[in-house]
Amino acid sequence: MRTEPGIEFESVPMAGVVQPELSSGRLYTGLGWLDSVVGGFAPREMVLIDSSSQFVFGLLSELCVQSVTSYGTHAVFVDGGNSIRPYEIARIAKFRGFEPNAVLSRISVARAFTAHQMASLILDRLDAMVEKSGPPTIIVSSLLDLFRDPDMRWNESLHLVRRCMSELDSMTKESGSVCVVTNFAAGRFPGRRAMLAAMNSCPDRVIRLENSDAGMLVSLPKRGTFLYRYPVPQGQTVLERYFRGCNYGQDCRDL
C-alpha cells in the first residue's frame, strides 16, 4: 500500500470529541479524522489555526486541493512564511485523482517578505484578488512571522496585525469567502502576548494544533473539543485514506 505524501498521523480519538453533522456548502480538509472535530469551514467564516506543529503546512496543501476540487472555488494563498508547497499540492491532487496542473492553475499565490509587504497585500491588494476570483478560499499562512521583525517597534507591529485581522474579517463577511489564517508559533518576542490576543479577537473560530509527547493534540478551545492524533511508523499510511466517500457519508465503492 503506497503512502500519501504529507500524511503521518493515525487517528486515535480520545474523550471530548464531538461528531458534528457534515453538510454541503462547507470546505472540508479531506481528512476524515480532522473533519469530525472541526466540522468544515463555512462561507463568511474566518478561522485561525494556531499551531506549534509542522503539520499545519501539510494541512494547507490539503485545503488548497480541496478548495479547488470538492469545494469548487479558486484559492488565494497569501504566503508570509515561504510555506506554500506546490509539489506537495500536485502530489495530493494526483493521489486524489485530479490533474495536478489543473489544480495548481486555480491557486493564486501572493508572497510577502517583510511586514509592510504583508500589510500592503492584505490592506491594499487582496480585495481586488478576491473580487476577481469571486469568492475564493482565502488562505493566509504564517501571518505573524513577518511582524516579529526586530527592526520594527512592537507597537507598530501590533497596530498592523490588528488592521490586517480586521480587514480579513470584513473581507470574508462581505465576499462570502472562507478564510483560514495560520500562525506558526516560534519562540518569544516583544509584544507576543498582545499580538496573539489581537489575532484571536477577530476569528469566528480558533483551532489549535499542539505537539505533545505522544503525537499531536487538536483542540477547539471555545468549544472544549479535542482529539489526539498518534503517529504511525515511517512509510505507512492508514486505511481511511483510501475510502474516498467516508468523509461525506457515502459508500466506499471506490476502494
CA dihedral 48, 64, 113, 194 (to 10 degrees): 0
Q: What CATH code is carried by the domain that includes residue 196?
A: 3.40.50.300
pLDDT beyond 90 at 231: no
What is the three-class DSSP state of 5? coil
Cβ proximity of 137 and 58 under 8 Å: no
What confidence tier does 233 reach under pLDDT thresholds 50, 70, 90? low
In a domain, 176, yes or no: yes
Name the percent of the chain lying above pLDDT 90: 49
Average pLDDT over every residue of 153-166: 92
> Which grid coordinates belong to 79?
504566503
What confidence tier does 44 reach under pLDDT thresholds 50, 70, 90? very high
205: Cα separation from own chain's centroid: 12
Q: What is the CA radius of gyration of the chain?
A: 18
What confidence tier does 223 reach under pLDDT thresholds 50, 70, 90? confident
In a domain, 126, yes or no: yes
What is the reported pTM?
A: 0.82
In a domain, 32, yes or no: no
Total structural domains within the chain: 1
Name the percent of the chain lying above pLDDT 70: 78
Distance CA(94)–CA(100), nearest Å, equals 6
CA dihedral 110, 114, 117, 122 (to 10 degrees): 70
Average pLDDT over every residue of 132-144: 91
> Which grid coordinates belong to 163?
488592521
In a domain, 123, yes or no: yes
In a domain, 220, yes or no: no
pLDDT beyond 60 at 105: yes
Domain span including residue 124: 41-208
- Between 103-107, 163-167, 222-226, the lowest mean confidence (pLDDT) is in 222-226
In a domain, 34, yes or no: no
What is the three-class DSSP state of 236? coil
193: Cα separation from own chain's centroid: 22
> Which are the contacts of 44, defined by CB distance < 8 A and separation ≥ 6?
172, 173, 176, 177
> Which grid coordinates belong to 206?
480558533
Q: How confident is the model over 107-124, as pLDDT tens digits?
A: 999 999 999 999 999 999
Q: How confident is the model over 176-216, as pLDDT tens digits?
A: 999 999 998 666 677 778 888 888 889 999 999 988 777 88
Burial of 99 (0-12, 13-18, 19+ CB in 10 A): exposed
Q: How confident is the model at residue 133, as a pLDDT?
A: 82
In a domain, 230, yes or no: no
Helix extents (H) in the chain: 32-38, 55-68, 86-95, 100-104, 115-120, 126-133, 154-175, 192-201
In a domain, 177, yes or no: yes
Distance CA(199)–CA(162), nearest Å, equals 7
> Which grid coordinates belong to 86?
506546490
